[in-house]
Chain A
Amino acid sequence: MMAVASEQPASGVDLREPGGWRRTKNQIATVGMWIAFAVMLVPLGFVLVTVIAKGASAISWQFLTNSTIPVNVLPVTYGGVGPAVIGTLEITGFAALIAIPLGVLGGVYINEYGGNHVLARVINFMADVMTGVPSIIMGLFIFTIWVLHFGYSGLAGSFALACLMLPIVIRSTYEMLRLVPDSLREASYALGATKARVTVTVVLPAAIGGIVSGALLAVARAAGETAPLIFTIFVTQTLNSNLFSGANTALSTLIFQNATQPYTGAQDRAWGSALTLIAIAFILMIAARLVTARFSRYSQ
């Protein structure tokens, strides 16, 4: 103690950060993080700026709502992509309707009911594996078991997207439920609640914010998928609002078909559709934030 005191400057106590290697490491790490942040912003910024710059001029009320997609050679001022907007909303919406309830129930089963049971471990493992399956495989799968028998339809596309979303929803639900402290479950049990009661009134509400976020993330991802739809909804230029029969179309497949064309009209339509798709995803994310904030207003 005495030795340390005598080394300090006469003016008083030295409270500066210790010098040497420790300070240098801190500086290196700080600079490294800023560089990483800047590098990460480059692709993100480029994508957004490019899509907005090239797509904004195509966007108009007519573009979004006109019910006929014109032939490729026509400029973007003709017709619109209404069928694809409706198709994307319908197909993704129905996929969400299938995958979210199933996925949440699956996550609840694994974490709350399964315990160490073989079935729970198998589902958990399969969900893990399915998360990594390329989306085109899901498309081929639905093509084989559904489209070959019942033909192309928006419904087949929904099935393919639901297959894609299901493992994501299961995993995110499971991870969120795991974060709910056991002390909350115990508090509920100690008041005489049954297991189902505990799950519905305490565990799910405590995790709802994360579950909703995870589910909407899955929806946003599915909305942008192209490969599984190409095999399942085929293609159409006119509005088909019947989800359950006939070929359909979606923004993602429209982008795929138009972007590869040599005609400027088709390319402009692809950019406009890309911007529309990003806007839909953006609106979904805002909705997710609002819902999450609403549900978790008591959990600080």
Chain B
Amino acid sequence: MEQQEQQEQKVTAKLQVPETTATPAVAPATAGSEVFETKNVSIYYGSFRAVTDVSLAIYENQITAFIGPSGCGKTTVLRTLNRMNDLIPSARVEGDVHYRGASLYSKSVSPTAVRRRIGMVFQKPNPFPKSIYENVAYGPRINGIRGKSRLDEIVERSLRQAALWDEVKDRMGKSGLGLSGGQAQRLCIARTLAVEPDVVLMDEPCSALDPIATGRIEDLMQEIKSRYTIVIVTHNMQQATRVSDRTAFFSVLRDERPGASDTRTGVLVEYGATQQIFEDPHDSRTQAYVTGRMG
């Protein structure tokens, strides 16, 4: 047992990244107040440590992008921010995640209450097999809003915010599954906005969409950012430069010792203003990634 612990410590030591990760370049607080602050967050799936020691702050009314190669834990970190990882039985979070000063993972916190404030848009559009109207009205309904006129108003407002109203206003009773990919994703965004969240987390929302649909969603993000804080995971670096104010670059750290198995883990390499990350990266790995030499 003791031996095993020592072994693990050795691995940890080996995986510890030099200076940059320990004190990530947190961008100067020129922006509004902090919405999220994570300190030394590590996320495990069973005994596998998917992400190690992530510390970053996310600011109000900004778009923060998470970029990095596959398997670096961007999505895992994102799902930690609204406790979606709770749905995976083996997932476990270590370290502090603060949301507006409150610790997200303290015992008294209800994941349901968290997710009502922190909404999420998924990689694949996932409208409910219900009518377009019912898709958008679903969130308000489960939050106890009744009354047709009130719901009508919320549905219209949300669909307008998601730039979908004009396309669907004459077929609100039709199935949400009959929409095209881009429309379906905007429906999902409208559904998320309908509960008036504080934060919208987006997990590669455009990866299944064509460039035109992607453009519309990016425009939409710019329009709604004055009212919401947005965190977006993207594989598309151009997208990060186009939409985000801040960018966090994650990478995969591997245990290079021979015979070591599955000791790769995701780390936050560099975090700063988007312009700085792409034009003047401080870390050589960031530079390699953003210039296309790696990943």
Contact = CB atoms under 8 A, between A and B. Distances in A.
Interface stretch (A25-33, A156-164, A193-201): A193-201
B241 interface: no
B139 A192 contact: yes
Nearest to B121: A190
Contact of B177 (A115, A189, A201, A299): A299
A187 B112 contact: no
B176 A191 contact: no
Contacts of B195: 191-192
Contacts of A194: 112
Nearest to B89: A115
B175 A197 contact: no
Given A115-B89, A183-B126, A184-B128, A192 B120 contact: no
B8 to A, nearest CB: 26
Contact of A187 (B122, B143, B175, B178): B122
A192 B114 CA distance: 7
Contacts of B129: 184, 205-206, 296, 298-300
A128 interface: no
Interface in B117-166: 117, 119-120, 122, 124, 126-131, 138-139, 142-143
A187 B177 contact: no
Interface residues of A, number: 25
Q: Which of A186, A190, A193, A201 has the most CB of B within 10 A?
A: A190
B139 A191 contact: yes
A6 to B, nearest CB: 40
A253 B188 CA distance: 55
B130 A191 contact: no
Q: Which of A115, A192, A205, A299 has the most CB of B within 10 A?
A: A192
B177 A183 contact: no
Given A298-B176, A299-B177, A300-B178, A192 B126 contact: no
Contact of A202 (B82, B112, B128): B128
A188 interface: yes
Nearest to B138: A191
A186 B84 contact: yes
Contacts of A115: 89
A181 B127 CA distance: 11
Given A183-B124, A186-B87, A192 B112 contact: yes
A189 B86 CA distance: 11
Interface in A197-250: 197, 201-202, 205-206
B192 interface: yes
Contacts, number: 78
Nearest to B139: A191
B191 interface: yes
Interface residues of B, number: 31
A16 interface: no
A194 B188 CA distance: 19
Contacts of A297: 175
Nearest to B83: A189
A192 B113 contact: yes
Contact of B126 (A116, A181, A193, A299): A181
B89 A192 contact: no
A187 B113 contact: no
B115 interface: yes
Nearest to A180: B129
Contacts of B122: 183, 186-187, 190
A193 B142 contact: yes
B87 A189 contact: yes
B116 interface: yes
B175 A192 contact: no
A227 B84 CA distance: 51
B138 A190 contact: no
Given A191-B142, A300-B178, 5 more contacts: A191-B116, A192-B112, A192-B115, A193-B112, A206-B128
10 contacts: A116-B89, A184-B129, A190-B115, A191-B115, A191-B139, A191-B142, A201-B138, A206-B128, A297-B175, A298-B176
